[in-house]
Amino acid sequence: MEGALAVNSVMMVVTVALCGAVPTSSPSQEELTKAQDYLSQFFSDMGVSAPNGTWRSALDSFEDTLKKMQEFFGLEVTGQLDSNTLQVMARPRCGFTDVLKYSHFDGRPKWDKTVVTYRITDYTPDLSQSDVDATLAKALKLYSDVIPLDFRQIHSGTADIMIMFKAQEHGDFAPFDGENGVLAHAFSPAEGRGGDTHFDEDENWTLTSTGANLFLVAAHEFGHALGLAHSQVQTALMFPTYQYVNTEGYTLPDDDRQGVQAIYGVRETSVQPTIKPVPQPAPEPEPAPDMCSRNLIFDAVTSIGRNLYFFKDGHFWRRSSRWGGIVMKKIQSVWPGISKVDAAYEYKIRNTVVFFEGDHYWAISGNTVLRGYPKPLSDFGFSQSVTKVDAAVHVSVTGRTLLFVNNRYWSYNERRGRMDAGYPKFIHKELPGIGFRVDAAFESRGYLYFSYGSEQKEYHYLRRRVLRTLLNYRWMDCN
């Protein structure tokens, strides 16, 4: 009977650093009830080996089950509702029972075919349909790279794995619970509803470190759709709590690979006949940007000490104030791990420079990235809708840093470490004459320079007046 199906649902949650446990001597009735519900939902399927070799339910004792939950999450095993335990219970998380290391659903269900089809019936408006298609295909490829199973998207009819984005009640007896609760869930392999994967539309679906990263959540859910349960290995994709990791070049962690290969076997790479390779010419290095092009567009510009740094396509030019020479280098040759700079500014009082790339930023001192970086843009005070900073400049006479995003800008109070009230404001209204957008901005000899395209405006900030218009390449000492 459909109503009796066990919903093998899963969700991923944001992890937070926990400090030492603080005893909760007398939890409230509400806390106790929530804890009982939590253990009943997530740990009721765990068994405890009895001395006679039989198995008894792990819910024979509230205290025993609580200890198992604490042990699973690496908490201090007290059997009491201390503050850390309540914190973990309060997190949004997976709806499936927790288990040890990699594990499989009872009976080890699997797809007895070589090609599994999937269909997306309802898309999220948070991302374009093409982005959703590409992201889910990328998540499934994590598995097809290591097991002899291929996935094919279809656009009509019934697929093996039916995928949808829906909020609240959505027809499977496991309604979602709103934003920041259960992110998604999936059914184990079977006919009918088996393998189906559902995402909570109340979440903010993204491809970045903000909101719910669709690639990481989908990859976890598809693990369930292929027959994987949860793992206690904290670095595993199938660990029940979620922490954002860089998805560039992401591959299936060893624990998950071992688990899925235990079900389906190892994908063998096709053996090609030995052919004597034909010598190929070495690839030509990617040409460096032309600093003397009249159409030169800067990614970012900032002062660092007495020099000006102009960033373009993974490179930078350093213009020294002490002599007329200009030196070009790759960004990674000076700051390893930073491949591109979208915006940058120097805060001389702290002797630091801030680089922005995509949805995160670094703080730099000299050639050293400071500890704890990169950090997400939200730490700077931006809303989650901001995924890239176009330009930044620190205005020394006001002690404020101006941060440009599309056609608006923010004012950041460096001394207080927060955004000024009343922002963002429209660029063309508050900074008349410089236009609607800014690609790069910097301060030099008391003036601000705002670049857009190949042109820039020399600007008197206090008077809010453009002094002259220049071409970017003029800073490169070109004839």
How far is Cα 305 from Cα 349, in angstroms, rounded to an integer? Answer: 11
How far is Cα 181 from Cα 124, in angstroms, rounded to an integer? Answer: 17
How far is Cα 52 from Cα 476, in angstroms, rounded to an integer? Answer: 83
Answer with the residue of higher pLDDT: 77 or 272: 77
Q: Print burial letters for 437-460: b (CB count within 10 Å at least 16), e (below 16).
A: bbbbbbbeeeebbbbbebebbebe
Query: Angle 254-264/214-225 helices, nearest 10 degrees?
Result: 30
Q: Calculate ∠ Cα 279-280-284, nearest 5°.
A: 150
How far is Cα 36 from Cα 89, in angstroms, rounded to an integer? Answer: 10
Whether 302 shows a pLDDT value over 60: the answer reads yes
Whether 12 shows a pLDDT value over 70: the answer reads no
Q: Calculate ∠ Cα 465-468-472, nearest 5°.
A: 120
Look at 92-106, 191-205, 226-240, 242-256 and tell me which has the smallest mean pLDDT.
Answer: 92-106
Residue whose pair of structure tokens reads 């052919």 in the numeric block? 275
The CATH label, of 1.10.10.10, 1.10.101.10, 3.40.50.720, 3.40.50.2300, for the domain at 17-90 is: 1.10.101.10
Domain ranges for the chain, please list them.
17-90, 115-264, 300-476
Report the range out of 59-63, 287-291, 325-329 with the highest average pLDDT. 325-329
How far is Cα 98 from Cα 232, in angstroms, rounded to an integer? Answer: 8
Residue 446, token pair as written in the block: 């008391």
Q: What is the mean pLDDT of residues 407-428?
A: 93
* pLDDT of amino acid 456: 94
Whole-number mean pLDDT of the chain?
82
Q: Calculate ∠ Cα 410-415-417, nearest 5°.
A: 55
Q: What is the DSSP letter of 459?
A: E
Answer with the residue of higher pLDDT: 140 or 69: 140
Look at 48-52, 219-223, 249-253, 375-379 and tell me which has the smallest mean pLDDT.
Answer: 48-52
Residue 339 — pLDDT band, cuts 50, 70, 90?
A: confident
Strand 352-357 and strand 315-319: pairing?
A: unpaired
* pLDDT of amino acid 251: 93
* pLDDT of amino acid 76: 84
Answer with the residue of higher pLDDT: 96 or 367: 367
Length of the chain: 479
How far is Cα 442 from Cα 311, in angstroms, rounded to an integer? Answer: 12
Torsional sign, CA 207, 213, 216, 219: negative
Give start and end residues of each alpha helix (H) in 91-162.
129-144
* pLDDT of amino acid 238: 87
* pLDDT of amino acid 35: 81
How far is Cα 9 from Cα 3, in angstroms, rounded to an integer? Answer: 15
Closest residue by Cα to residue 319 from 442, 438, 434 = 442
pLDDT > 70 in the chain, percent: 82
Residue whose pair of structure tokens reads 């800073």 in the numeric block? 475
How far is Cα 299 from Cα 313, in angstroms, rounded to an integer? Answer: 7
Q: What is the mean pLDDT of residues 50-60?
A: 32
* pLDDT of amino acid 150: 94
Report residue 371 CA to chain centroid gap. 20
Q: What is the DSSP letter of 163?
A: E
pLDDT digits (tens, 9 = 90+) for 246-292: 888 899 999 999 999 999 999 986 344 444 556 666 555 667 788 88
Residue 13 — pLDDT band, cuts 50, 70, 90?
A: very low
* Class of the CATH domain delimited by 300-476: mainly beta
Residue 16 — pLDDT band, cuts 50, 70, 90?
A: very low
Across the strands, what pairs with 57? 47
Answer with the residue of higher pLDDT: 387 or 36: 387
Residue 365, token pair as written in the block: 């001192």
Q: Calculate ∠ Cα 389-393-397, nearest 5°.
A: 150
**Which of 30, 71, 191, 221 is labelled catalytic?**
221
* pLDDT of amino acid 347: 93
Q: Would you call 221 a catalytic residue per the annotation?
A: yes
Q: Which CATH architecture has domain 115-264?
A: 3-Layer(aba) Sandwich (3.40)
